C-alpha cells in the first residue's frame, strides 16, 4: 500500500459522525473533539422477550386468497396484523472526556487506515489511539516534550451505574434499558434478563496521578497512558472481572509492545489488498477539502482509493470472528435511542455490510454474519410455523441482538417481507464459492436448508401456473391501486430471484457434501430439484423494463431508493447469461434514476459495474463521494453521500454504503460471477471507467478459490496478471481456460524476474 491512506483534518469534528472510528470487532471508539465515545457489541437494550404474537395463524393464507381475487390493498392491510414489537436498540457504553493544558491550541487529526492508529495533535500535546484485537483494549497515549496537565472524566449515559476511581484505575458497572419503546421511550424499570456492562481503565503516567469524582487528574506529565477494556454480560460482576483482566494484561505489556503487536496484525489485514489508480501525485489538503473540490469538478481519484480502503478498514474494525455482526452503524453509536435502533435490517443493509468480505480479502470477518444466521434459524422456526404454516425458518426485515424474526410494527411494505433468511443464506453460498472449504459448507448447510425448506413450503401455483411466494412484497416499495397503495402481490422480482438462486445453491451444495445429507434433507433437495423449472421467473414489461411485481403495476414512487427487483444482476447472478434480462435491468436502472441515499448510491454503483458500464459506475461513485450539504436542499435525496469523515450518509449515518462502495469498486476491476460449463469466468477490468486508464490492484479474490495476486493495466488494457488458487481448479481468463494447481502462481505478461 504505497499511497498514504489517511483521513486528515485541520479542525475538530463538528459532530459525532465526523469523528474518527476505531474498533477491534467487539469494542468501538469514536474520537470526537476531546471525547472518546465507547461501544461494546453485545450491549443492547431488551431482555430477550421476542415471542410470536398471538392470533397470527392463518393471516398469510387469507392474504394470499385476497391477492388471488385481485384485492391487493385489502391483502396489504390484513398483513399488518402480523406485526409484533420493534427491535431493541444497540447502546452507547459511555464516553471519556480528556482536557489537557494545551486544549486551546490548533488541532490536526488523522486516521491512518493501514496502521489503524488515530492521532490528534492539539498544541504541544499528541494523542494516539488504537484498538488492539489481541489484548481486547482501546489503548490511548498523550505525550509532549514538556510537562502538561490532563483531566480525564467518564460519563455514563444510562440511569444508575456505579463508578469507582482508585489510584491508577477506573471501574464502571451499569446496565442497559430493559426496553426501548417505539417513539423513543426508555424504560429502566426492570433489570431482569438485561445486558450489563463492565468497564475498566488502567492508568499510567510519569507525573502525578490523583483520583477525582468520575475520573482522574494528571499533573506534570510528559506521558499519560490509558488501557481501556469493556465487556457485556448478563452478570455485571463477571463483565467487570473480564474487563479488569484485559486492561491489566495490556498495561503490564506496555505501550510499545502493544503498539508493535497491533501494527503487525493490522497491516497484515490491510496489506492483503492494494489499489493504485493512475500516477498523479497525491492531492493536497484535508479530506474535507478534497471532498468539496471533487464535488466541484476537480479530479481526485485518490479519494476513490481512500473510500475503497476505508470500507475494508471499517469491516475489520466492526466484525471479527467471535463478535456480533456489524449493525447499521457498524459498532459505533452515541445515542440511547439511535436511528432505526441501530439494528440489523435484512432487506439490504446488513447484507451490504458484508459485500466486500469475499472479494476484498476479508473472508474470516464474514463469520459473525454466519453466526447471526445460525441464531435466526433457531428463533425463526416458530415464526415460520405459526405465521406461514411452513417448516424451516424465516426472518422479516429487522432483527437485533436477541434474534427477533417476527414483523415489526409499521407499514406492510416494510414488515410483510419474510425473505431475509434467503438473502442471508446466499452469503454462505458466496463464502463457499470464494473459498471452496467443504468443511465450512457442511457445517453451515443446515441453516441454508432451513431457509430453503421455508421457501419451498411457501410456494403455491400462481395465475400463470408457475410457483410463486404469494403473498409477496418488494422491500419498502408500493404500487398504486384504486383503494390505495399496496405492497402485496402474488410474486415479486426479488422473491423470484432469491428463491431461484437459493434453490440452485442447495442443489450445488448437496452435490458437494452429499455424504452429510440424509432423510428429510435428501427429500428436500429432491423436491427443490423438481420445483426449480416451475419457479416464477423474471418478467419484462411493455416498456422493456424488468417488472418489480407480478404484472405491470403503476409505481407509487418511480425513483424509489430500493432496487430490489435487480437482485439477479447484483449481488445475485441469475441474470448473468441473459442479454435480454440485463438490457431490461439497464432500462429499469435508468428509470429509477441516479439520486439516492448513501447505501442506494453504492448499490447502483455495483449494478452499473455488473452491467459493464464503468463510466456510469464512476459517476455514481462521485455521487456517493459528495459531502452532505453540497447539493442544496432542493435536490432529490439531497444529503445522500458522505460526511467529511467519509462515513456514509443515508442520512443520518449508516455504515452500509461504505461497505457497498468498496464492493462496487472491486466489481469495476474484477468479476467472477459467471460460469461456463461449471468453470468460473474471471472478467478483468469489466467496468473500467475512462478516468482510470492506468492502475494496479493486488489481492482481490475471485470465485473458485482464486486470488488475483496482481493485475496491472495501462491504457485500459491488461499488461500483467498473476493468479494463485487455494485449491486445484480451473478458470476461464483472457480468452482461455487455465488449470490452476493449489498454491502455484500462474502469470501472464510478467517479464522474467519481475515481481
271, 302, 331 — which closes off a domain?
271
Q: Same domain for 121 and 68?
A: no
Read off the pLDDT band of 51 (50, 70, 90).
confident
Instruction: At 169, give phi and psi (nearest 5°).
Output: -155, 140
pLDDT at 618: 97
Instruction: Count how many domains the chain has.
Output: 3
Q: Same domain for 14 and 125?
A: yes
Instruction: At 67, give phi and psi (nearest 5°).
Output: -60, -40
pLDDT tens-digit map of 592-631:
999 888 899 999 999 999 999 999 999 999 999 999 888 7
Which CATH number characterizes residue 504's domain?
Answer: 1.50.10.10
Q: Is the pLDDT of residue 273 over 80?
A: yes
Q: Same domain for 468 and 529?
A: yes
Pair 397, 86: CB distance under 8 Å: no
Q: Is the pLDDT of residue 635 over 70?
A: no
Is residue 561 in some structural domain? yes
Instruction: At 388, give phi and psi (nearest 5°).
Output: -125, 5
Q: Same domain for 256 and 397?
A: no
Is residue 75 in some structural domain? yes
pLDDT tens-digit map of 440-466:
999 999 999 999 999 999 999 999 999
pLDDT at 214: 80
Number of neighbouring beta carbons within 10 Å of residue 208 = 11
Separation between Cα atoms, residue 709 and residue 755, nearest integer Å:
11
Number of neighbouring beta carbons within 10 Å of residue 364 = 15
Is residue 295 in some structural domain? no
- The C-alpha cell at 627 is 459531502
Q: Same domain for 477 and 373?
A: yes
* Averaged pLDDT, 567-575: 97
271, 299, 332 — which closes off a domain?
271
CA-wise closest residue to 558 among 586, 591, 585:
591
pLDDT at 106: 86
User: CA-based diameter of the chain, in Å?
Assistant: 82
Separation between Cα atoms, residue 397 and residue 385, nearest integer Å:
18
**492-501, 509-518, 527-536: segment of lowest average pLDDT:** 509-518
CA-wise closest residue to 322 among 283, 371, 276:
371
pLDDT at 418: 97
The C-alpha cell 455490510 sits at 353
CA-wise closest residue to 694 among 709, 715, 665, 711:
715
Is residue 297 in some structural domain? no
Q: Same domain for 61 and 159?
A: no
The dihedral formed by the CA atoms of 97, 99, 103 and 104, expressed in degrees to the nearest 10: 90
Which secondary structure element, helix H or strand E, spans residue 132, and what is its range? strand 125-132
pLDDT at 495: 97
Alpha helices (H) along 467-613: 493-512, 519-531, 579-592, 598-610
Domain residue limits at 692: 676-749
Which CATH number characterizes residue 704's domain?
Answer: 2.60.40.1180
Separation between Cα atoms, residue 140 and residue 544, nearest integer Å:
58
Instruction: At 393, give phi and psi (nearest 5°).
Output: -150, 160
pLDDT at 409: 84
Q: Same domain for 544 and 395?
A: yes
How much is the mean pLDDT over the chain?
Answer: 94
* Averaged pLDDT, 393-398: 96
Number of neighbouring beta carbons within 10 Å of residue 33 = 19
pLDDT at 184: 77
Read off the pLDDT band of 656 (50, 70, 90).
very high
Pair 398, 74: CB distance under 8 Å: no
Is residue 251 in some structural domain? yes
Instruction: At 46, give phi and psi (nearest 5°).
Output: 105, 170
pLDDT at 634: 66
* Averaged pLDDT, 495-500: 98
pLDDT tens-digit map of 13-23:
999 999 999 99
Is residue 447 in some structural domain? yes
Is residue 348 in some structural domain? no
SS3 at position 76: helix
Q: Is the pLDDT of residue 751 over 60?
A: no
Q: Same domain for 516 and 545?
A: yes
592, 627, 652 — which closes off a domain?
592
The C-alpha cell 384485492 sits at 71
pLDDT tens-digit map of 526-570:
999 999 999 999 999 999 999 999 999 999 988 999 999 999 999
Q: Is the pLDDT of residue 3 over 60?
A: no
Read off the pLDDT band of 636 (50, 70, 90).
low
pLDDT at 125: 96
DSSP strand pairing (679-684 vs 729-733):
parallel
State the number of CA atoms in the 13 A half-sphere of 419 facing the CB. 35
Q: Same domain for 76 and 172?
A: no
Q: Same domain for 20 and 67?
A: no
Q: Is the pLDDT of residue 309 over 90?
A: yes
Q: Same domain for 68 and 150?
A: no
Q: Is the pLDDT of residue 753 over 60?
A: no
pLDDT at 50: 82
pLDDT tens-digit map of 535-545:
999 999 999 99
Pair 433, 440: CB distance under 8 Å: no
pLDDT at 131: 98
Q: Same domain for 40 and 69?
A: no
**163-177, 279-293, 350-364: segment of lowest average pLDDT:** 279-293
- The C-alpha cell at 228 is 481501556
Which CATH number characterizes residue 176's domain?
Answer: 2.70.98.50
Is residue 123 in some structural domain? yes
Q: Is the pLDDT of residue 2 over 80?
A: no
Percentage above 90 pLDDT, the chain: 88
pLDDT at 213: 82
Packing angle, helices 656-669 and 302-318, rounded to 10: 120
Amino acid at each position: 500500500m504505497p499511497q498514504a491512506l489517511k483521513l486528515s483534518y485541520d479542525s475538530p469534528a463538528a459532530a459525532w459522525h465526523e469523528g474518527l472510528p476505531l474498533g477491534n470487532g467487539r469494542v468501538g471508539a469514536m474520537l470526537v473533539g476531546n471525547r472518546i465515545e465507547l461501544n461494546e457489541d453485545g450491549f443492547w437494550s431488551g431482555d430477550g422477550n421476542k415471542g410470536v404474537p398471538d392470533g397470527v395463524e392463518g393471516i398469510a393464507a387469507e392474504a394470499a386468497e385476497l391477492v388471488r381475487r385481485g384485492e391487493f390493498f385489502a391483502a396489504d392491510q390484513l398483513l399488518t396484523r402480523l406485526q409484533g414489537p420493534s427491535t431493541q436498540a444497540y447502546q452507547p457504553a459511555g464516553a471519556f472526556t480528556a482536557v489537557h493544558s494545551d486544549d486551546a491550541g490548533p488541532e490536526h487529526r488523522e486516521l491512518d487506515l493501514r496502521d489503524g492508529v488515530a492521532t490528534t495533535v492539539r498544541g504541544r500535546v499528541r494523542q494516539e489511539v488504537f484498538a488492539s484485537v489481541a489484548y481486547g483494549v482501546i489503548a490511548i497515549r498523550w505525550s509532549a516534550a514538556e510537562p502538561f496537565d490532563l483531566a480525564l472524566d467518564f460519563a455514563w449515559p444510562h440511569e444508575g451505574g456505579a463508578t469507582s476511581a482508585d489510584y491508577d484505575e477506573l471501574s464502571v458497572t451499569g446496565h442497559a434499558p430493559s426496553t426501548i419503546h417505539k417513539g423513543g421511550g426508555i424504560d429502566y424499570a426492570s433489570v431482569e434478563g438485561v445486558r450489563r456492562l463492565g468497564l475498566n481503565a488502567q492508568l499510567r503516567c510519569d507525573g502525578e496521578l490523583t483520583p477525582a469524582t468520575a475520573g482522574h487528574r494528571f499533573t506534570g506529565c510528559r506521558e499519560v497512558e490509558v488501557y481501556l477494556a469493556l465487556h457485556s454480560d448478563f452478570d455485571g460482576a463477571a463483565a467487570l472481572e473480564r474487563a479488569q483482566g484485559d486492561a491489566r494484561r495490556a498495561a503490564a505489556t506496555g505501550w510499545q509492545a502493544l503498539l508493535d503487536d497491533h501494527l503487525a496484525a493490522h497491516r497484515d489485514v490491510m496489506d492483503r489488498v492494494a489499489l493504485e489508480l493512475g500516477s498523479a501525485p497525491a492531492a493536497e489538503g484535508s479530506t474535507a477539502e478534497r471532498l468539496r473540490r471533487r464535488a466541484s469538478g476537480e479530479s481526485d481519484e485518490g479519494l476513490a482509493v481512500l473510500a475503497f480502503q476505508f470500507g475494508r478498514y471499517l469491516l475489520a474494525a466492526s466484525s471479527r470472528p467471535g463478535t456480533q455482526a456489524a449493525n447499521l452503524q457498524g459498532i459505533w453509536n452515541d445515542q440511547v435511542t439511535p436511528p432505526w435502533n441501530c439494528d440489523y435490517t435484512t432487506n439490504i443493509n446488513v447484507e451490504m455490510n458484508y459485500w466486500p468480505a469475499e472479494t476484498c480479502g476479508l473472508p474470516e470477518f464474514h463469520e459473525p454474519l454466519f453466526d447471526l444466521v445460525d441464531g435466526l434459524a433457531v428463533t425463526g422456526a416458530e415464526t415460520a410455523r405459526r405465521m406461514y404454516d411452513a417448516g424451516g425458518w424465516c426472518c422479516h426485515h429487522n432483527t437485533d441482538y436477541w434474534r427477533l424474526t417476527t414483523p415489526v410494527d409499521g407499514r406492510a411494505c416494510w414488515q410483510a417481507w419474510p425473505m431475509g433468511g434467503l438473502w442471508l443464506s446466499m452469503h454462505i453460498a458466496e463464502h463457499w464459492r470464494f473459498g471452496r472449504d467443504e468443511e465450512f459448507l457442511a457445517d453451515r448447510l443446515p441453516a441454508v436448508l432451513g431457509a430453503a425448506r421455508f421457501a419451498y413450503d411457501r410456494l403455491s401455483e400462481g395465475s400463470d401456473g408457475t410457483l410463486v411466494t404469494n403473498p409477496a412484497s418488494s422491500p419498502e416499495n408500493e404500487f398504486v391501486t384504486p383503494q390505495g397503495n399496496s405492497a402485496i402481490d402474488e410474486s415479486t422480482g426479488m422473491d423470484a430471484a432469491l428463491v431461484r438462486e437459493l434453490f440452485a445453491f442447495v442443489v450445488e451444495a448437496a452435490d458437494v457434501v452429499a455424504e452429510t445429507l440424509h432423510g428429510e434433507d435428501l427429500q428436500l433437495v429432491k423436491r427443490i430439484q423438481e420445483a426449480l423449472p416451475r419457479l416464477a421467473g423474471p418478467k419484462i414489461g411493455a416498456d422493456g423494463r424488468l417488472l418489480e411485481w407480478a404484472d405491470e403495476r403503476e409505481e407509487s414512487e418511480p425513483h424509489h431508493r430500493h432496487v430490489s427487483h435487480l437482485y439477479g444482476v447484483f449481488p445475485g447472478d441469475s441474470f448473468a447469461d441473459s442479454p435480454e434480462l440485463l438490457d431490461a435491468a439497464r432500462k429499469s436502472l435508468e428509470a429509477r434514476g441516479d439520486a439516492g441515499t448513501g447505501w442506494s448510491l453504492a448499490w447502483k454503483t455495483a449494478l452499473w459495474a455488473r452491467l459493464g458500464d464503468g463510466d456510469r459506475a464512476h459517476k455514481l461513485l462521485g455521487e456517493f463521494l459528495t459531502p452532505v450539504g453540497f447539493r442544496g436542499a432542493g435536490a432529490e435525496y439531497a444529503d445522500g453521500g458522505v460526511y467529511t469523515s467519509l462515513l456514509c450518509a443515508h442520512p443520518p449515518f449508516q455504515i452500509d454504503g461504505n461497505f457497498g462502495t468498496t464492493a462496487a469498486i472491486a466489481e469495476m476491476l474484477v468479476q467472477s460471477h459467471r460460469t461456463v460449463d461449471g468453470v468460473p469466468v474471471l472478467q478483468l477490468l469489466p467496468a473500467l471507467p475512462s478516468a482510470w486508464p492506468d492502475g494496479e490492484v493486488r489481492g482481490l479474490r475471485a470465485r473458485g478459490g482464486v486470488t488475483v495476486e496482481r493485475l496491472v493495466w495501462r491504457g485500459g488494457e491488461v499488461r500483467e496478471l498473476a493468479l494463485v488458487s487455494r485449491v486445484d481448479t480451473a478458470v476461464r481468463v483472457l480468452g482461455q481456460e487455465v488449470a490452476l494447481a493449489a498454491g502455484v502462481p500462474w502469470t501472464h505478461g510478467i517479464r522474467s524476474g519481475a515481481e
